[in-house]
Chain A
Amino acid sequence: MLKKCFKYDFKSVFKIWWIAAVTVLGLSVPAGIAYESLREHFKDPARRFIWENSAVGAFWFSVMAILILTSVLVAVRFYINFFSDEGYLTFTLPVKRSTLLFSKILSGFVFYALTALVVVVSLAVIGLFVPAVGESYSCLTAEVLCEFILIFKEVPLKDILWIIAYALELVLMAILSPLVSTLFLYTLITLGATIAKRHKVAATIGLMVGSNYLLSALIIPVVLAIGLWVNATLHLFSDKMLGEYDWMYFVLFAFLFVIAVLATVCAFLGNVIQGCLERKLNLP
């Protein structure tokens, strides 16, 4: 059933999302060309400046647009499918609510990942055109990649293990971060639609604005406190107790702590949504 649910969730968002993806990829070509070819084309620096900035500006605008659009499409799909009249169909299907929710989380995550991929690919396209500093070849060629591999060959085995450990942690964080964003968005929509009897969208937007202010107010002091604590620790123990690899352990465990926090937040938000869908469903 998950496969079927995911198919419909994916199709519904993809119908509009692909247009934005193609636009971003399409605009990356003139943006890349703008750096080099237009320089040859327009001898007048003023005209070249306008052309360069138009092409590059349009590209970055499209990148911003796809980031916002993905969030909006994922949120709209979740809201309409669960809390509008469509909910009458969704919740009378012979499918467990946990499966319905998991399908939405999966599709949200997939679209965030696809958006990131589109942005990375479009930047790579620009990299193909932009020359590396002081070199005749472009930023992204086989030569550059070969040099990169050569650097890795010189790294000792122990350090490679560290790199693998860090890479794994970064991958986990890269998976958990969009997951937390998706679940946070879904939680606010669910709470807004559960609490409000009529103006559910307004309630959701109100919760989003309120939670943003609240999180900013909470996160800024926490981050500052952690920064101060780390700074104090660095001064206290520098050159005395911690060797080269002790620092590596310190950062590794700090990342693990962040991963554990993100995973706990995911589980908590998932449970909140599931609880609301099971017991507090409030269709119009």
Chain B
Amino acid sequence: MSEPILVCDKLCKSYKKGVPVLNNFDFTVEPGRIIGLLGPNGCGKSTLLKLIAGLLVPDCGEITVCGIKRSEETNKYISYLPERPYFSTRMSVDEMISFFKEFYADFDELIARKMLFDLGINPKSQVKTLSKGTKEKVQLILVMSRRAKLYMLDEPIGGVDPAARDYILSTIIGNYNEEASVIITTHLIADIEPVLNDFAFMYQGKIHMSGDADETRNTYGKSLDQLFREVFRC
């Protein structure tokens, strides 16, 4: 069996003392899987992704990416899309492409330019002149144009129109290779459900339920969206 892409071992993280966001959290991602990390607000999804991306330091536990303990070195293998626009507004899309090309050896400029063309985005445009949805599309295009081992997409389709969602989802499926894995967090479960191989329901900093998407649908006779609504009913 091949080496897991990601191993989170007994991770703990709390922003305030005594209020843990993640509590002895164990999570493993095998290569070639698209995983939906789903859960109600505040369950720790974004915190987990930030910890893996190195934006936060865990209180305890260990993160391993491609067999290497989390460090700047592991950023080479991770392509992370945060839930907010993070590009410099003073740059143009072209300049952002150059930036990615310079810092990431695995960035494929041709793929990025093709996707920009498909979505009708002018590479000469300044980032500050783009709408919120277009900024998100550009970010996703750049993130998915890398040949990374692990893609982490935090709410990738939250701000885009339904027509573009299909293109984005097909981009996610089409662009990752069999050795890579994708973690997607979203509230729009029905939209991403068709592309998921695995899912994990998170609740109060722990995995509440997880498994193979198809098997779970067959076992319960419900879609993941319906199951989510049932499990997390207020």
Interface residues of A (CB under 8 A from B): 1, 4, 8, 12, 15, 80-81, 85-89, 91-97, 278-279, 281, 283-284
Contact = CB atoms under 8 A, between A and B. Distances in A.
B7 to A, nearest CB: 19
B78 A92 contact: yes
B90 A94 contact: no
A92 B55 contact: yes
Contacts of A87: 55, 86
A94 B75 contact: yes
B167 to A, nearest CB: 23
B57 A281 contact: yes
Contacts of B56: 281
A92 B103 CA distance: 10
Contacts of A284: 84
A96 B87 contact: no
Interface string B85-124: 1111010000000010011100000000000000000000
Nearest to B79: A92
Contacts of B88: 12, 80-81, 86, 89
Contacts, number: 57
A94 B55 contact: no
B72 A89 contact: no
B54 interface: yes
Nearest to B99: A8
B104 A281 contact: no
11 contacts: A8-B99, A85-B84, A85-B86, A89-B86, A92-B55, A92-B80, A94-B72, A94-B73, A94-B76, A95-B72, A281-B55
Interface string B173-212: 0000000000000000000000000000000000000000
A281 to B, nearest CB: 6
B57 A88 contact: no
Q: Which 5 A-B pairs have the closest CB atoms?
A: A88-B86, A94-B75, A94-B76, A88-B82, A89-B86
A257 B5 CA distance: 53
Contacts of A4: 102-103
Nearest to A90: B86
Given A92-B54, A95-B103, A283-B55, 19 more contacts: A1-B103, A8-B99, A12-B90, A85-B82, A85-B85, A87-B55, A87-B86, A88-B82, A89-B86, A89-B87, A92-B53, A93-B72, A94-B73, A94-B103, A94-B104, A278-B57, A279-B57, A281-B55, A281-B56
A94 B99 CA distance: 13
Contacts of A92: 53-55, 75, 78, 80
A209 B182 CA distance: 47
A92 B102 CA distance: 14
B78 A15 contact: no
Contacts of A96: 72
B55 to A, nearest CB: 6
Contacts of B82: 85, 88
Contacts of A80: 88
